[in-house]
Chain A
Amino acid sequence: MGPGTDMYRQQILDHYKNPRNYGELEDADIEHVGENPMCGDTIKMFLKLADDGDTIAGVSFIGDGCAISQASASMLSGELRGKSLEEVRGMEREDIEEMLGVDLSPMRVKCAVLAEKVAKDGIAIHQGDKDLEETTTE
């Protein structure tokens, strides 16, 4: 590997090349899509809720774009399972950076937080707090 390539630690490349929980969830309770128009990154998140209507029981995503955006979605899909909707809505950018394990340049933060933003907006729409067709990072 080259002199740096810090942003592309093995973990991120692994999640990019072999995304976890990739695909559509047939019986999802929450579906939401978002894009980062500058890069062309798109992410659609699918969330399945447990019987309590508040705990995330299943997660999947589909998408296209740069390694940071797709790996972030893949890793997030694992993190969300078992969380309550409020816990997800309370997630912050720092949580995503910690999850990815890298320092992101300002230009790449948008890529990294796309999946998280899509999940949060999807939940907000589900709870009647937001009304939007599509999330964008702009």
Chain B
Amino acid sequence: MSQQVEPLDVEALREDFPILQREVNGTDLVYLDNAATTQTPEQVIGAITDYYRNYNANVHRGIHQLSQEASIAYEEAHDRVAEFIGAAGREEIVFTKNTTESMNLVAYAWGLNELGPGDEVVLTEMEHHASLVTWQQIAKRTGADCKYIPITDEGRLDMDAARELITDDTAMVSAVHVSNTLGTINPVSELADIAHDHDAYMFVDAAQSVPNRPVDVEAIDADFLAFSGHKMAGPTGIGVLYGKEHILEEMEPYLYGGDMILKVTFEDATWNELPWKFEAGTPNICEGIALAAACDYLDDIGMEAIQRHEAELAEYAYDRLTEWDDVEVYGPPADDRGGLVAFNVEGLHAHDLSSILNDYGVAIRAGDHCTQPLHDVLGTAASARASFYLYNTKEEVDELVDAVDEARELFS
């Protein structure tokens, strides 16, 4: 990372997020559940309001002024997202509902048609259910097998094992870029190289990376990459599937209906051009446009600066929490992780901890974080997770740590 990156002016940025002014249980909100969903700045709320106040209309259908304006804004949102992740253009950007739907799109449109007995899908032990369950079930239906790259004691991918597991039988490698539980930053570019050496595709689950660091699909050489708008200062209901154009071109549609067709007769239909071939029916127009506004917002701040800010908070939280012997933080060491810490306090269930933290206005996630098999590997059913974003401060980490201490006292 560049050393010239200016630190974030967090106090100024916090002014952009009205929700950060609210109170919970009579105390200031400390929002540390950003890996689940991030808060929304005025700039994005403004884009949503602007759409509904001024040019709400269906896209690609009307000749009238409003429809034209909505269509242009919606299409240009694809261009903006393409630019944000280094894709060639809108042809490679399909808007979906969320990361999960992006996964399912490829699993159904490509996997069901291309996978069969003898084929293998290689995943990691730290996959989110979004990809794990999807590929597991598509494999069952097609007779293909799923294999899992194991994690080391430090919570990293065992890359020697990866090289053994990815073979000429591998059709797809699907790996999470930044683990939503361990905070591990995975070498997805290296995995893509290995996959391509065996003529397999590489699918990157970038739900926890695109929001908080520079991600370039061409540098990674990902064949597919997916992420969600609501984890990157955008609204819910909008996700992105990036796919290399020539692959998307060859794939069959996932959903049929209006807008994804070119010509329809009673007997047959032909498909619209990319990306519309994969966007059947009226899409989430407003949310797509708002996602582009979120890209503008994040780029104005600078993705490298956001990455560094999150890494500093995660390192600080890791160091403070591990001062106690009865706290276990999962995943790699403090100085090499994404912006989150999942942990457990001995003798204190994560749900109890989260309930008590809520009394102090501190919002964290507690549970299995949609990584149940990974929690089996970690030997626990649930963990507590604090995850940070550009508007969080060290003082908020201190409030988290103080509240955890209160909970420890209560249960001791």
Do A and B originate from a single complex? yes
Partner-B contacts on A (CB < 8 A): 1-8, 13, 16-17, 37-40, 65-68, 105, 107-108, 111
A38 to B411, CA, bound (A): 22
| 0 or 1 for each of B193-209: is its CB under 8 Å from A? (1 = yes) | 00000000000000000
CA distance A5 to B368 in the complex (A): 23
Residues of chain A within 8 A of B355, CB atoms compared: 7-8, 68, 105, 108
Of B349, B350, B356, B410, most buried by chain A (CB within 10 Å of CB) is B349
Bound form: Cα–Cα A16–B407 in Å: 14
A3/B26 in contact, CB under 8 A:
yes
**Could you list some 18 contacts between A and B, CB below 8 A?**
A2-B356, A3-B27, A4-B359, A5-B359, A5-B410, A7-B356, A8-B355, A13-B410, A13-B411, A16-B411, A38-B368, A40-B381, A66-B351, A67-B349, A67-B352, A68-B355, A105-B355, A107-B351
In the complex, the answer to whether B352 meets A68 with C-beta atoms within 8 Å is: yes
Separation in Å of the A83 CB from the closest CB of chain B? 29
Number of A-B pairs whose CB atoms are under 8 Å?
61
Is B367's beta carbon under 8 Å from chain A? yes
- Contact across chains for B367 and A38 when beta carbons are under 8 A apart: yes
* Contacts from B to A (Cβ < 8 Å): 25-27, 349-352, 355-356, 358-360, 367-368, 372, 380-382, 403, 406, 410-411
Which residues of A have CB within 8 Å of B351?
Answer: 39, 66, 68, 107-108, 111
Is A8 within 8 A of B352, CB to CB? yes
For the complex, give the distance between the alpha carbons of A68 and B367 in Å. 15
A40 touches B25 (CB 8 A): no
Closest to B372 in A: A37
* Closest A residue by C-beta to B360: A2
Chain A residues positioned under 8 Å from B367 (CB to CB): 38-39
Closest chain-B Cβ to A69's Cβ sits at a distance in Å of 8
Closest beta carbon of chain A to B208's beta carbon, Å: 21
